[in-house]
Structure 1
């Protein structure tokens, strides 16, 4: 066998430049892998690359892994896999694909005459498999550059390759067109090669969670699944599901089902059964296939094998389950008891809450942190030169009172003579943002409907460059607060287009938006490239708190106004008035006060650093590493603001500041990662999966009937809805359960997280 080569180091960057979703392949195999702790291991999260481009940072990391081969994740990319060893038949099938789907320039050969043709899908879809033919579509991958494990030779691209042809230049196919090719191709196969398969949308989907069943329920369901000479993959799938559902007790059941086929060989069936090691498939698969074919389980059947069963009455287990109170799911985020700190920060939050029609403590705290951070700009820094520039997004539904904190900040700043720190309510362009900061290097931007704003600045495919530059500039400004931000160079330097540098810019951003609008505006790329990681995302703890009927005309507390002015002058070190925070030239150096950190606070942050390192290693290969990596930095900024708000003249970051800031930022980060996993999607297919999952999850431990689910998901037609349910079932995210009603028990879908252990 030919020695392995560093394919990723040689070709990875070029593939990314051409738009391909490259992934690392375990050397000597065909499966994705990652190199960890000195050895190659599985990469279970590789499917996220089906929904977003691979980044150069990822490729640079993978290029350091020894002998890393390259695969391509399918989603936008589609592979037509012709796994036929007869050269004439393989050639005819290839010719048929080129005639029906387009003359693609990309043909890959692994073990000739088998071949794979590569196309592009504008709208990703799930591809069927009818061995020996397979559509490698969303959720699948194929090897592009590696040593073939059977031939010992590199995979070959006889004509062009992904290194020379951009993804956007490939012919476009649709789900209907590839299915049409598949049906026509099967007709060209000799009878002995034509597959019989369980044509279920879930048949090619991976599963990640087991589900126990009962012998009676599995036997009843299996009777509705025909075995008319099924293809090998479907046969194995049923066997694995039976064994996963009821263990060795299902051996005779599977043998009897397998014997229904003329192709059955009892010895082969027995050997296959002994080799099955199901860990991620079980009763849910059997039940789903059976229900697709008309199975309606008798209400006395116990479906969940993990439920204790009464030996006397077959319905006793079910009745006990229905009568029991379902266990609460294990929380994915540790609870955070929000406490309002002392000092100017606490005074500002308290004033906001006292004057609000609907008090929102979380939102008031986020707005106050940004406001005080802007006033501190260019006047205070930590010993590691971090500044008080914060980006905060506050999530609350319409009508919940999310505008109040912004209004209070405007009033306070105007009354204190600090209005120059307030930026406009809108940003028209990236250049406009830099012009504003050049005029006022320490600035607070308060943006309403931030989700709508984010849709425009984050969509690099459809938004104009002057809008996407806003997010680029915000990302760079975040890390430039302790140094010099160098402006853009222009070809025509005529006085209007001079480069504008900003020394130690301090941009604070406070945005408010409805949760749904915000999460729908995000794409995975915003998570991976780190732009979202710079934001602290705060959610309202009570969307609609009781109204405060005592609000009216208000007057800011004089002590609060005085304290804000003191912070704006750096604890009295700088001149007050509307020139505070400015210099004669924004490029002139400034000398901020260094705020020390006591020994206990340093020890707390050292512990945090060790914890974050452990979590980063555990999250390697996931989109959450940028968020985890920013927790310590954001917590230090928040601790700095809290320390200065307590004592603007001689501030010190103490243990209380460190603990409070770390708990606050960590909780926000954990909740953000949970919401990203639940909501963020790059295409309609993934978005619909997550919307259906949220509907089922929102029904709680009682579950939701198919009728109610259909009513709540009228945005989908029946076929895609059923496909999504099949996928969620196979992925172990939902399960079937029985729910008592006034008349008779009904079948419901329930999120697995609600299932009692």
Structure 2
């Protein structure tokens, strides 16, 4: 199960900025809650947020509550809840909603394939429920950011989310339009999923009782009906409904529920129960009140007590099918012994290491892959039309030698007369990137201080559009290498603003940065939207290796220069020199060499596909699915580069190419996901928690004394540090250790092994 997260602290302010009526959700549940006297309890007055915007002051208060999740109150906001476990039916109902109500950008998944679509109402209205379909409208709420109590994973917004789409930008619906959709949707449901009216009461109940319920359903519904400050008439009504639903079996249940109120007098409760004589009230009333407060009965729950408990549940077949799906653990991070491959790739890495003051094998490999990938652009492709365009980020501390690989590539390309493949050291705008690629469709961009660069292009709230367009264009170019990238259309087409199309662009990006700067620049949105998934993130295995004192003036080996020229010429099939990689017009079609894959390599990639599918299903609802989904694609690109590196003239992707590429890319992806969980934060509060936890984790099993922890966390003042330590200890993530000394005991801290995020 995924550990609880402070969703309100991370996302609350951003939701308010986008106009959403955020409310606090009791961790581990789907109902609104509040944190009082050191414990979570019900929040009876939450419905007031259906009628007015949430204030920033409220969010800042809720953000201090431990593990506070986030719900959105409905009124202006409307949710179309499709509570169906059949994937095909759920998808058809979603498609129907988009066709009839508008193509909303907001889709939320809790327990797949169930789904919820979000719309906006100009005039609030009450929403009907016809299980398994429901209109969440005035007076209702739904969970937006939380840990799902059934799956143990975060709710996921697979497309856009309320963090990126303002409330005012949602499609507008009316009460009439949603009821029309509901009627049409009901007609699409098979008979066993259509809502059924509760049948007449069983003979065991008095004839005056209108609806018989079941003990399990009543207990489940009652858990969603608060009784902190309930007025007397409502208290009586709930008691009458319980007795009408399950008779005297509800006496102890009603007494326990009544005892939740400070006004409860046990003797008076028992006397009132004995006096109840329900004639027109029963389970339906109780269920109605519970559903108004967020209760969504499980499909396995029998609501109608008049139905024989021995009957087969109408969804039994579907439930059995779901239960039969095996649940395997997510693959752990595997160790990876870096081996330098043969061919041009190995020659370039070896040259970099031999000339480096501080040799960095991992960084040299990443830089070489990108360099050769750029030279291969528009000249080689796989049988599935994948190309050699790679995005690689190399992480190493300052002074560790991370710049050397870039310097070697620059010098070698100039020596080989291939400098036209080198893009500038800086990218000023998204339009500037496209202009450079239009001039040179196959290009290598080498960016130092990539973390600083990423801060500018990834922050959509504060950065200007011309910067954020850089990341947008890079994301689109990554998937456009095998086709035509269509340029932007301009209103004023005066010769300078003509649309610029690029046929088969090959952009390779190699960025270097310090680890802390890189992870601090990322936000969870960059993980979820898939922009990070396109990058292979490589970390140095040894931040400060021994110095090589024999380095000096260098010149690339002639054999390496010759091999790079051969690859740039497509093994002699295309022009070399300054014209290599270019055509008379970047929109002109080119005909790359197709690199085949032998049967063994194909079998290895088929096995990878099955493994990734299993991991994707396990990771559903987490931010890691985009990264997992790109492993096979990135591994195929790397295998293509390795195969061409070994034999540019008659390349074939063989089993050893496939195995090496898969191990390399998978290891990088697994380590990236671990680092995301430990380091990526959306605000300073979350960032401080994670930074301090990393300091304690780095101390290992022996722990860290409080004085040493203070010394290493000078980025926090005393109050902030004490608050962070208190939260981590209370959550059971770190633990204090008392050690006796001659004078007085000392306090140390160590991790407990539980992950906080």
Q: TM-score, normalised by structure 2?
A: 0.62
Match among 138, 141, 156 for residue 157 of structure 1: 138
Tell me if the contact between 2:387 and 2:482 (Cα under 8 Å) persists in the aligned partners.
Answer: yes
Structure 1 pair 630/124, CA: closer, same or farther in 2 (3 Å)? farther
Structure 1 position 736 matched with structure 2 position 736:
yes
Task: Establish whether residue 660 from structure 1 lines up as the match of residue 660 from structure 2.
Answer: yes
Is this contact kept in 2: 1:527–1:623, CA < 8 A? yes
The CA deviation at 1:142 is: 6.0
Following TM superposition, by how much is the alpha carbon of 1:333 offset from its aligned partner in structure 2, in angstroms?
2.3
Pick from 27, 49, 55: which aligns with 1:119? 55
| 1:271-328 deviation line (CA, Å, top 9, x unaligned) | xxxxxxxxxxxxxxxxxxxxxxxxxxxxxxxxxxxxxxxxxxxxxxxxxxxxxxxxxx
Alignment partners' CA distance in 1, 2:13 and 2:566 = 48
> What is the Cα deviation at residue 72 of structure 1?
6.2
Look up the match of 2:354: 354
Q: Structure 2 matches for 1:653-692, cutoff 5 A?
A: 653-692=653-692
Secondary structure at the aligned position of 2:567 is classed as helix
Query: What is the distance in 1 between the residues matched to 2:499 and 2:399?
Result: 43
Q: Distance in 2 between matches of 1:160 and 1:737?
A: 43
Q: Structure 2 unaligned runs (5+)?
A: 15-20, 37-41, 82-125, 145-161, 170-227, 230-261, 267-329
Deviation for aligned residue 1:708: 2.9
Q: What does residue 629 of structure 2 align with?
A: 629
**Partner of residue 394, structure 2:** 394
Match of residue 721 from structure 2: 721
- Counterparts of 1:635 and 1:159 in 2: how far apart (Å)? 46
1:613 positional shift? 0.6
Change (3 A) 1:609 1:83: closer
Contact 1:125 / 1:138 at 8 angstroms: preserved in 2? no
Maintained 8 Å contact 2:639/2:661 = yes
Secondary structure of 1:118 counterpart: coil
Instruction: Indicate if the aligned counterparts of 1:82 and 1:116 stay in contact, CA closer than 8 A.
Output: no
Structure 1 pair 116/667, CA: closer, same or farther in 2 (3 Å)? same
- Partner of residue 516, structure 2: 516
Once the two structures are TM-superposed, the CA of residue 574 in structure 1 deviates from its matched residue by 1.1
- Contact kept? 1:734, 1:749, Cα under 8 Å: yes
The DSSP-based 3-state class of the residue aligned with 2:613 is helix
1:545 Cα deviation (Å)?
0.5
CA distance in 2, matches of 1:118, 1:81: 15
* Alpha-carbon distance between aligned partners in 1 of 2:57 and 2:663, rounded to the nearest angstrom: 44
1:386-418 CA-partner distances (Å, limit 9, x unpaired): 000000000011111111100100111111110
Contact 1:739-1:747 at 8 Å conserved across structures: yes
Q: In structure 2, which of residues 48, 55, 71 is the aligned counterpart of residue 107 of structure 1? A: 48
Equivalent position to 2:10, from 29, 51, 54 = 51
Whether the 8 Å contact between 1:107 and 1:159 is mirrored in structure 2 is no
Cα RMSD (Å) of the superposition?
4.1
Please state how far the C-alpha of 1:721 moved relative to its aligned partner. Answer: 2.7
- Who is 1:431 aligned against? 431
Do the aligned partners of residues 722 and 592 (structure 1) sit closer, same or farther apart at CA in structure 2, a change above 3 Å counting?
A: same
Moved more, 708-717 or 660-669: 708-717
Deviations 1:37-81 (Å, cap 9, x if unpaired)? xxxxx98768658635999xxxxxxxxxxxxxx996779xxx997
What secondary structure does 1:635 align onto? Answer: helix
- Provide the aligned length of Structure 1 versus Structure 2: 516
Matches within 5 A, 1:491-506: 491-506=491-506
Q: SS state of the match for residue 674, structure 1?
A: helix
Question: Quick check: 2:9–2:63 contact (8 Å CA) kept in 1?
Answer: no
Aligned-partner Cα distance in 1 for 2:668–2:141: 48
Q: How does 1:83-102 map to 2 (within 5 A)?
A: none
Distance, in Å, in 2 between the alignment partners of 1:537 and 1:417 is 30
Over 3 Å counting, the alpha-carbon distance change for 1:331 and 1:653 in structure 2 is closer
Question: How far did 1:154 drift?
Answer: 7.5
Matches within 5 A, 1:11-50: none
Work out whether residues 369 and 638 of structure 1, in 8 Å CA contact, stay in contact via their aligned partners in 2. yes
Q: Shift of the alpha carbon at 1:334?
A: 1.6
Distance 1:641 1:53 in 2: 45
Residue aligned with 2:537, SS? strand
